């Protein structure tokens, strides 16, 4: 039974039309946009804002290439699912599964179903499906509810996102039901999430290796001093493994299998005891299923180009670092986070290549979502770390 208060609120909302429609700040960097401005007019009257604010759970969202996490104000992380959606072929709205269930369908779908990852390289590749996925998460976070939830959301985005990519995130979040959207750059969110005192007058370096992007930033006084983002991250490493098996052994494997190999025996630095794993796939010459034993050394070799690119990006960022901050980093070390931080020996390799102490964060897969959530719960912090141009 809906509570009396929610019923009253519904009636009030249906009978009073918002009159003062505020044009949002998005106009500031939207001169070249092809999206009509009317789209961003959200009927944001004070009354409506209060009403939805009261009944919605504000959310911090890490809209990741590999995983989407949702942090709800006062409750913490309530959802952590792969960013995969299964839809009926020919429709982008008829969602059959989202998250883990959809991920298990990747590469195994019959003709009438497609399982897709709507984000690539850290940004939206399939707008409609991203929006549907966000709507699913927003609704799920609110449970059964009379009013359509209209939360305020803080979304993490890569640090070198283009204006067009930024707009895609804002547009999908608004269309999915958000009433206000703030964009926080992922390394800033990750730094806050792992507990780095970002407002201190002291340099801190964070490296967030996700599925699609490696985001590196040096933060001081609540702002970014230097940053670098490269679209070489966990997914590229996974791709290098399948290429290697294809060209060396004529063995074709799916994305899922390739990721499992990376997680089970992948490494960035020679291991004390190298490992062996049995891999099943399809022989490209005979066309038949085939099983092969591969070892961790060859997998490390297969991924080396990607790992070298990540190390190069870290070194480039350090090259741009002002001397005072460099001395802070010598004292404090560097924080490694994101799913890619879990690759065996990556911390050791980075220590060797930079001469700095590298610390892997406690929960690398959740740091951005925790940071976005903390910002949501702390208005003054939000004002300091998210410039006004990134709040809509």
Residues at the contact surface with Mg ion, assessed by CB under 5 A: 64, 210
Q: Is 60 in the site for ligand ATP (CB under 6 A)?
A: no
- Residue whose structure tokens are 């929006």: 131
Which listed range, 22-30, 58-66, 109-117, 373-381, lies at the site for ligand ATP (CB under 6 A)? 58-66
118 binding partner (options ligand ATP, Mg ion, none; Cβ < 5 to 8 Å by kind) = none
Quote the CA–CA distance of 116 and 94 in Å, as a whole number: 13
Among Mg ion, ligand ATP, none, residue 203 binds (CB under 5-8 Å by kind): none
Instruction: Looking at residues 202 to 221 of the shown chain, list those that interact with ligand ATP (rule: CB under 6 A).
Output: 210-213
| DSSP calls for 18-29 | ---PPPPGGGGG
- Work out whether 67 is an interface residue with ligand ATP (CB under 6 A): yes
233 binds, among Mg ion, ligand ATP, none (CB under 5 to 8 A by kind): ligand ATP
Quote the CA–CA distance of 218 and 191 in Å, as a whole number.
Answer: 10
Rounded CA separation 70/53 (Å): 18
d(CA 366, CA 354): 26
Nearer to ligand ATP, 105 or 341 (CB): 341
175 contacts: CB under 8 Å, gap ≥ 6: 131, 135
Q: What is the rounded CA–CA span in Å between residue 376 and residue 383?
A: 10
- Which residue in the set 154, 184, 232, 233 belongs to the binding site for ligand ATP (CB under 6 A)? 233
Structure tokens at 53: 């604010």
**Quick one: what does residue 373 bind among ligand ATP, Mg ion, none, with the CB cut-off 5 to 8 Å set by partner type?**
none
Kindly state whether residue 359 participates in binding ligand ATP, applying the rule CB under 6 A: no
Instruction: Answer whether 152's CB lies under 8 Å from 141's CB.
Output: no
Q: How far is the CB of 69 from Mg ion (least distance, A)?
A: 9
Report 95-124 residues binding ligand ATP (CB under 6 A). 122
> Of all residues in this chain, which one has the CB nearest to Mg ion in the complex?
210
Query: Coil, strand, or helix at residue 392?
Result: coil
CB 329 within 8 A of CB 320: no
| Residue number with CB closer to Mg ion (176 or 372) | 372
Q: Which parts of this chain interact with ligand ATP (CB under 6 A)?
A: 62, 64-67, 122, 186, 210-213, 233-235, 238, 259, 262-263, 266, 338-340, 342-343, 365
């Amino acid at each position: 039974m809906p509570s009396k208060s929610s019923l009253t609120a519904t009636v009030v909302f249906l009978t009073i039309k918002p009159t003062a429609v505020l044009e949002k700040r998005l106009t500031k960097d939207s001169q070249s946009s092809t999206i009509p401005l009317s789209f961003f007019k959200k009927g944001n009257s004070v009354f409506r804002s209060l009403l939805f604010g009261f009944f919605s759970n504000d959310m911090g969202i890490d809209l990741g290439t590999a995983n989407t996490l949702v942090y709800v104000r006062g409750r913490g992380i309530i959802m952590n699912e792969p960013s995969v959606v299964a839809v009926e072929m020919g429709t982008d709205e008829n969602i059959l599964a989202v998250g883990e269930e959809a991920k298990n369908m990747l590469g195994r779908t019959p003709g009438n179903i497609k399982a897709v990852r709507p984000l690539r390289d850290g940004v939206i590749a399939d707008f409609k499906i991203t929006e549907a996925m966000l709507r699913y998460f927003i609704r799920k976070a609110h449970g059964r509810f009379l009013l359509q939830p209209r939360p305020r959301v803080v979304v993490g985005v890569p640090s070198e996102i283009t204006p067009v990519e930024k707009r895609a995130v804002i547009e999908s979040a608004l269309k999915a039901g958000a009433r206000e959207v703030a964009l926080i750059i992922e390394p800033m969110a990750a730094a806050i999430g792992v507990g780095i005192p970002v407002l201190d007058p002291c340099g801190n370096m964070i490296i967030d290796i996700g599925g699609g992007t490696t985001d590196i930033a040096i933060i001081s006084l609540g702002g970014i001093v230097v940053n670098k983002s490269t679209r070489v991250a966990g997914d590229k490493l996974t791709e290098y493994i399948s290429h290697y098996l294809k060209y060396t052994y004529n063995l074709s494997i799916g994305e899922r299998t390739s990721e499992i190999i990376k997680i089970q025996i992948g490494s960035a630095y020679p291991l004390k005891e190298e490992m062996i794993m049995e891999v099943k796939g399809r022989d490209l010459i005979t066309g038949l299923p085939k099983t092969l034993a591969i070892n961790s050394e060859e997998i490390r070799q297969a991924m080396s180009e990607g790992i070298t690119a990540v190390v190069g990006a870290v070194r480039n960022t350090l090259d741009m670092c002002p001397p005072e901050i460099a001395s802070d980093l010598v004292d404090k070390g560097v924080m490694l986070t994101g799913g890619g931080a879990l690759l065996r020996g990556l911390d050791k390799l980075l220590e060797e290549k930079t001469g700095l102490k590298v610390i892997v964060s406690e929960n690398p897969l959740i740091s951005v979502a925790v940071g976005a959530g903390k910002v949501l719960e702390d208005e003054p912090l939000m004002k300091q770390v998210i410039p006004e141009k990134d709040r809509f």
